Amino acid sequence: MATRIKLDTKTARLRLPVRKKPYTARLAHGIRLAYRRNEGAGSWSVFGGGGTWLKKIGIADDLEPADGVHVLDYWQATERARELARIKDGDTGAPLTVAATLDQYANDLRARGGYQTNVTRVREHLPAALAKKPISLLTARELRAWRDGMVKAGLKPASADRSARALKAALNLAAKDDPRITNSAAWRGLTRLPDTEESNNIVLPDSVIRAVIAGAYEVSPAYGLFVETHAVTGARTSQLLRLRIRDLHDDNEGPRLMMPNSRKGRRRRAESKPVPISGDLAATLRRASIGRPDDAPLLTPPPWGSFTRLVRRLGLDPRVTLYAFRHSSITRMLIANVPVRIVAAHHDTSVAMLEKTYSRYIANHSDALVRGTLLQVSPPVAGNVVPLVRG
């Protein structure tokens, strides 16, 4: 039986003995907040379903201030535990539908500071009949028919593929949480479409990027600041939306942002690394932060579709997305002969991924470096010959 004890202050928690068995506090009928006392920072979890399931929800603010996203104080953990338990237990055992699965995935992205466009993209193209279907009854054939139907309706294969991968992520999350879901092979077989491996990496000239930033500031100062930070850092939107005011460092060492990692793939630890920014951007960010607490979001999330409308208003190629800033930043550094490993580290990606996506620019970069070391076989020009004299 889990022990109930006072957990609402870090002082009380740090007095508890370190142990694997969690300490708990009852929140509501069938819901308990669990705290595990570790050698380092403790962790929060929620017992739901009357103790039938347990899910970790965040790190306790034992050693660092709460940020409301990854590091939680007692009250933030309580709110998230109740929210997760309501979503997970709210259907009282009814079969989980595709639509409900997307709701859970959206909540998970929100809790992890992820970009919820992944859910919006799927919902936009999801037929009502498929949305209402229990996921335990899904088949590989109907999922392929849905994906291929998007292409048949005029969506680009790469876009249809992204929607399919987002739905797979939502279904995988549901299957992970519910052992009764045993048909995950249905969506594991939803492989990539041909010719969608290569990213549509549109690279924008600096003059066009400046025009886009100026156009964004015409929409609103907050939106302009979001777009400018995107362009200067080359970071992913999900990383920018997890920035807090305390992540802005504009001291004498040079202005920079402590950029959260993307936690893509198997990475789950919340880490940050310094990303340099211009002095002008740092000053604008600092002015926009005056009077706000350190744990407040640094940037305001943009409305859905705002960048598409901006691109249309400026008369740009409709294929241009916010990701073009990232492609442009990576390409700019490669052309400037910044070592590939440094470019990869700055953009929170791998050298292998850069080699796969930006091979043309890396080839140009390596060609310039190697050319300067080539052996000159032809005789030197007359007049430049210096005889070697034996000593």
- Does the pLDDT of residue 234 top 90, yes or no? yes
Long-range own/partner contacts, residues 139-148 (CB < 8 A, 24 or more apart): 139/183, 139/186, 140/185, 140/186, 140/187, 140/189, 140/190, 143/167, 143/186, 143/187, 143/190, 144/189, 144/190, 147/190, 147/193
Mean residue pLDDT of the chain comes to 82
242-288: pLDDT as tens digits: 899 999 998 767 899 999 887 554 445 567 899 999 999 999 999 99
Q: Would you tell me the crossing angle of helices 221-233 and 279-289 to the nearest 10 degrees?
A: 140
pLDDT-derived band at 1, boundaries 50, 70, 90: very low
Q: What is the pLDDT of residue 342?
A: 92
Scanning the chain, the segments in alpha helix (DSSP H) are 10-14, 74-89, 98-112, 117-125, 128-131, 140-152, 157-177, 185-188, 206-219, 221-233, 237-240, 279-289, 306-314, 323-335, 340-346, 351-357, 359-371
Class of domain 206-371: mainly alpha
pLDDT-derived band at 325, boundaries 50, 70, 90: very high
Q: What is the pLDDT of residue 112?
A: 65
* DSSP bridge pairs for 4: 24
Longest dimension (CA), the chain: 96
Q: What is the pLDDT of residue 92?
A: 46
Which amino acid is it at 79? Answer: E
Q: What is the percent of the chain where pLDDT is above 70?
A: 81
- On whether the CB atoms of residues 221 and 273 are closer than 8 A, the answer is no
Q: What is the pLDDT of residue 113?
A: 60
- On whether the CB atoms of residues 191 and 156 are closer than 8 A, the answer is no
Class of domain 98-188: mainly alpha
CA distance 279 to 61: 32
Of the two residues 366 and 110, the one the predictor is more confident about is 110
The residue behind tokens 């399931």 is: 53
Instruction: Map out the domains of the chain as residue ranges.
Output: 3-89, 98-188, 206-371
SS (H, E, C) 16-44: CCCCCCCEEEEEECCEEEEEECCCCCCEE
Of 49, 29, 22, nearest to 178 (Cα)? 49
Which whole number is the average pLDDT over 335-356?
87
27-37: pLDDT as tens digits: 877 778 899 99
Residues composing the chain? 391
DSSP code of 247?
A: G
- On whether the CB atoms of residues 55 and 46 are closer than 8 A, the answer is yes
Q: What is the pLDDT of residue 264?
A: 58
SS3 260: strand
Q: What is the pLDDT of residue 5?
A: 77
- Does the pLDDT of residue 84 top 80, yes or no? no
Helix (H) or strand (E) holding 272: strand 272-276
166-190: pLDDT as tens digits: 899 899 888 887 766 778 888 887 7
